[in-house]
Amino acid sequence: MRSASIFLYGVICYVVFLLTFLYAIAFVADLPFVPHTVNRGFAADSVVYAVVIDAILLGLFAIQHSGMARRGFKAWLTHWMSPSIERSTFVLLSSLVLILLYWQWRPLPGVIWDVGHGWVWWLLYAVSALGWLIVLSGTFIINHWDLFGLRQVWLRARGIAYTPPEFVDSFYYRVVRHPLMLGFVIAFWAIPRMTAGHLLFVVATTGYILIAVRFLEERDLIAAHGEDYRRYRREVPMICPWPRPSHRDEVDFVSSKR
């Protein structure tokens, strides 16, 4: 019964995540068939009040997401919780914080740019859709089911010991180390109509992605994969797919400066 309950819990957490992820697309793209988006929601009494509320919501997500993703917090959490549901719990709480953000977000007045409804409008939405596709497909390259907790609860239900997925450096991961984050940045910025509230959202989320990946996630990846990840880090750019010189090119460059 305990294993069945754990599996059911993991499935529920995954369903909540999936619905939250789909709503995120509508929220960012300001689609008309959802009640709250980055440009539509509760009206604020003032611009300052709206900025404060939005900043608190973004900060709450950053604290929850970064805090619960750290190895030390995971170790503390699994002292009193089954390790098989640690990831599902992280996914559930991240989804709930995002739902709170969708619900309580205060739009800000002012339009930064608006390309109208011509071919550029369609092009930008196509690029944004590509970003979301990179995010979703990238999760399957590294093991989608493990990333969102289903593999852990499934193994527990079958009585099989959990083994972490192997380090992956194929497909998108040969171009950038964090293609999911690249996909989010593309999806957030490729918008035909950028309002002040949307700009606050994308600037804050992009800044959070760059800081969290560089100073938190990469540290954990080095701890988990050691020299393999250090080598990978030297050879592949973090988020922007700029070409890097080979080791021989680097040596020749250094020698030419002496």
Count up the domains in the chain and report the number.
Answer: 1
- Profile the chain (258 residues) by mean pLDDT over runs of 10 residues: 90 98 96 94 89 96 92 88 95 98 94 92 96 96 95 94 88 94 97 95 96 91 89 92 59 38
One-letter amino acid at 25 equals I
Q: Determine phi and psi for 37, rounding to 5 degrees.
A: -135, 180
**Closest residue by Cα to residue 189 from 175, 207, 203:** 203
Strands 111-114 and 193-195: antiparallel
**80 in any annotated domain:** yes
Q: Is residue 257 part of a domain?
A: no
In this prediction, residue 225 carries a pLDDT of 86
Is 87:234 a contact under the CB 8 Å cutoff? no
Give me the pLDDT at residue 1, please: 63
Looking at the domain assignment, is residue 66 inside a domain? yes
Flag whether 134 is in a domain.
Answer: yes
Q: Residue 256: inside a domain, yes or no? A: no
Residue 246 lies in a domain: yes
Please report the pLDDT score of residue 185 as a whole number: 97
Predicted confidence at residue 242, as pLDDT, reads: 76
Q: Give the model's pLDDT for residue 159.
A: 92
SS (H, E, C) 114-126: ECCCCHHHHHHHH
- Which amino acid is it at 42? F
Residue 86 lies in a domain: yes
pLDDT computed for residue 244 by the predictor: 62
**Within-domain flag for 21:** yes
Domain extent for 187: 2-250
